[in-house]
Each structure stands twice: as structure tokens, then as C-alpha cells.
Chain A
Amino acid sequence: MLEFSLWDILRNLLLAGRWTIVLSLIAFVGGGVVAMILLIARTARWRGAPTFVAGYVQVFQGTPLLIQLFLAYFGVALLGVETSAWTAASVALTLYTSAYLTEIWQGCVRAVPKGQWEAAQSLALDFREQLRYVVLPQAGRLAIAPTVGFMVQVIKGTALASVIGFVELTKTGTMITNATFKPFLVYSCVGLMYFILCFPVSYYARTLERKLHVKH
């Protein structure tokens, strides 16, 4: 049997960590784009949009991410489309992230005083300009800290993608455990890797929060 040194374990986990990072980035960028579209639709009160967005957010917040992953993986297959673990995980995490980001960003837009909209309106700015030049810059400043903070949740959330066979940090940990029979050591290393990924992000979020609070 192959002998695994600690370095072997770490090396394999580090390599797998890349996929955790890539999946997190996909979820975050994809989720951010979808959330922005939903936010604009909701704020502009497109026909049916407020109800749809509210329902969308409730569905994704009210069901476990694990189930969403299962549904994305097995559900799409039922439609006759062959899904890879990659596609399913990317789609599920993107939708999940978008629901939470929509909620967070909506709160930030709502936190911009009504008088700002009114001042922009009375200066004859159209809706797009009101949003682009007056409201979003102010909401954006409020949104930075909670958004970066939520990124930590997304990074940890990617661990669940292991159950549909997506080979990232957690899945690799399981595979190494099966080969080495050292679950405590391996999962300790896995945990440490998540911490190394998440800690700088949450630390940065806190720094941003403090900095932006002092200014306004």
C-alpha cells in the first residue's frame, strides 16, 4: 500500500483547494451578476418583478443548499440533459449566492434615504441615472462589508458540492482519508485550509466595515 506522508496529504489538499477557490469565484461572480439583475428588476418595479424576486429569495433561503445541489444534479438529469458535477455545483451555488446577495443589496438600497431619490428625480435624472449616479454608489458603500462577509459563507458552502462528486477540498479530504485511515489528521488539515481561505476574507470585511463607518 502507498504510504502517505503529511506533505503528501497537504500537497493533495492544496491542489484540490484550487477547485474550492474556482467554484467559490464562479458562485460569487455568477451570483453577483444574477443578484444585480434581480435587484434592478425589483427596484425598477418591472411587472411582476417584486413578487418574483421575493419568492425567489424565499425559496433559496428556505431550503438547504444540500438539497439545492441534489436537485441541480439529479433534477436536470431527469430532463434528459447530462449534467456534470461541475455544472450542477456551479448552477446551484450561483443561484444560492444570488438569492442572498439580492437580499443583502436590497437592504442597502433601501437604506439610502428617500430624499436622495427625490433630489435626483427633481433634477430630471431618469431612473437609470438615479440608480447609477446617486443610489448605487451610496448603497454600494454600505454593501461592501456584508458582501465580503457573505463570501465566507460561499467558500464554506462549496464543501457541500463534495456530495455530488465534485472534487474540491472536502471531497479530496474524504478520498485521502479512505486511503490513509487517518480521518482526524486529514480533516484537521482540511479545516485548516478552509480557515486559511476564510480568515483573510472575514478579516478584510471587518476592516472595511470599520473604515467605512468612520467615514460616514
Chain B
Amino acid sequence: MSSIDDHGLPKQGSGIASIRALRKSYGANEVLKGIDLEVARGEVIVIIGKSGSGKSTLLRCVNGLETFQHGELLVEGVALLHDGARAMRELRQHVGMIFQNFNLFPHLSVGRNVMLAPSLVKKKHKDATEAQARRLLERVGLAEKFDAFPDQLSGGQQQRVAIARALAMEPSILLCDEITSALDPELVGEVLRVVESLADEGMTLMMVTHEMNFARKVSDRVVFMHAGRIHEMGPPDAIFGDPQTAELKQFLSALH
């Protein structure tokens, strides 16, 4: 990846998202204690760590679902401002998000789920959004489910629809928040295969996941979070094969 230097770190300024000295607290409880992270275009970043380490919160800060008190967050060079509704709408068009619990709209058909945001936000014509939705559903292997409702689908299928729905906004970065954690084990593979194909096509991804094998295989960089900080970061081989800190060693050994 050309935008990443020899140390596996993206060059300053080439990032699609930059997070600088980001701090967030809930009341007196500081959950993010100064995060610095540059995400390069096309990079796949996997964030690992214990629950409560702040990894989901970090992800949710990137598209403004969580507010933060200090620091700076830029997506495509534009700073995230919480009180600017228009700026937030603009930013969110660049940032797609997929959730642990899918969060499909239960009152809309699969096709309408995918079509809703492009038609409202991008003011696209119905024919265009429908064609796009059919194309995206085919891409995630669910072309025949266009008229089905979310509650008629398995968890894995619902999550693939959620991916198609996020892609319909043509985001430049996709956030995945433990997207396989709510799935039965036999359904995890079908979702991860879709994510892997996105990575292969050059989509920028930030993923919080517990699927270490997947992280090892697909990611360009692994971020280990501990107690609200980035504790260790590097290419997957280094993080999994040669962990430096005691906390990471302990985290990895607890998985086996």
C-alpha cells in the first residue's frame, strides 16, 4: 500500500481519517485517554482488546454517534463537529457503519432498507436506487431477498443486508462494530467472507472484532487497546506473533 511507509504507519496527511489526542469521558469515567490514529486509504485496521477497553467507543466516535470532549477527528480532511447538523450529515455520508445487532429497519423490505438513505440523502431517483440496491444485494449473495422482510432472514443474512445498506451510501470508510458477535457460529463465515471481499476491493475498514484468525488474515494493521489507550499497534504478524507488552501477551493467551 503506497500510502503506508516502511514502518507500517500511514504518512501524515495521506489518511482518510485522522484521530488526534482524542479523549472521551462519561462523567468522571474517562474511557478514551488520548488516542492518536491515522487511517490510510484502503487500509484494513482491526481493533482488539478486552471489553471496556474503549474500542467500540472509539469506533462510534468516528461517525459521531459518541461525542468526545478533547482532541480532533478528521474524515477526508474535514473536522467532525458535533453541533453542526449539516457538517455531520456530510461527514456521515463518507462513513458507513455496521452494528453488532444489524439494526435493519424491520418495517421496510430488504430492498427498501438499502434504498432508503440514498433516496433521502443523495436525492437519487427511485430507478437508480433500486438498480443499485439489486446490484449490492447480489454482491452480498442475497439478490433473491429483495422483497423479503428482515425478520424472515437469518442473522447472517440480515448482517449482509446491513453491509449492502451501508455500501449504498458509497462510504469511503466502513466501521464494523463486532459485526459477528451476535451470530451463531455457523453464520460467521458468510459475513466475514463479504467483509474480506470488500477489503480485497480496496475498501477502507475499521473493525472491532473477536475473530483473531480473520484479523490476522485480512488486516493491514492491528490496534490493541487497553484501558482507554492504544497499547500496542503494528502489522498482524508482529502483534500476534511477537507481542511486546505484558497486557497484549496476556490478552492473546486468554483467547486460547
Q: How far is the CA of A138 from the CA of B105 in the complex (A)?
A: 9
Q: Which chain A residues lie closer than 8 Å to B92 at the CB level?
A: 121-124
Q: Which of A120, A122, A133 has the most CB of B within 10 A?
A: A122
Q: Does B141 contact A (CB under 8 A)?
A: no
Given known A-B contacts A133-B116, A133-B120, A118 and B107 have beta carbons under 8 A apart: no
A122-B63, A125-B121 are contacts. A116–B105 as well, Cβ < 8 Å?
Answer: yes
* A12–chain B nearest beta-carbon distance, Å: 47
The count of residues in chain B whose C-beta lies closer than 8 Å to any C-beta of chain A is 27
Residues of B within 8 A of A (CB): 63-65, 85, 89-90, 92-93, 95-97, 99, 101, 103-107, 116-117, 120-121, 151, 162, 165-166, 169
Q: How far is the CA of A137 from the CA of B90 in the complex (A)?
A: 25
Find B89's partner among A116, A124, A137, A216 (CB 8 Å cutoff): A124
CB-CB under 8 A from A113, the residues of chain B are 101, 103
A124 adjacent to B93 (CB under 8 Å): yes
Encoded as 1 (CB less than 8 Å from any B CB) or 0, chain A from 42 to 82 comes to 00000000000000000000000000000000000000000
Instruction: Say yes or no: A137 contacts B107, CB within 8 Å.
Output: yes
Can you list 10 residue pairs at the A/B interface with Cβ under 8 Å? Answer: A115-B99, A118-B99, A121-B92, A122-B63, A123-B92, A125-B116, A133-B116, A138-B106, A138-B107, A216-B151
Q: Specify which chain A residues have a CB less than 8 angstroms from the CB of B85 in the assembled complex.
A: 126-127
- CB under 8 Å from chain B, chain A span 82-137: 113, 115-116, 118-127, 129, 133-134, 137
How many Å lie between the Cα of A41 and that of B48 in the bound state? 40
Considering residues A116, A119, A141, which has the most beta carbons from chain B within 10 angstroms of its beta carbon? A119
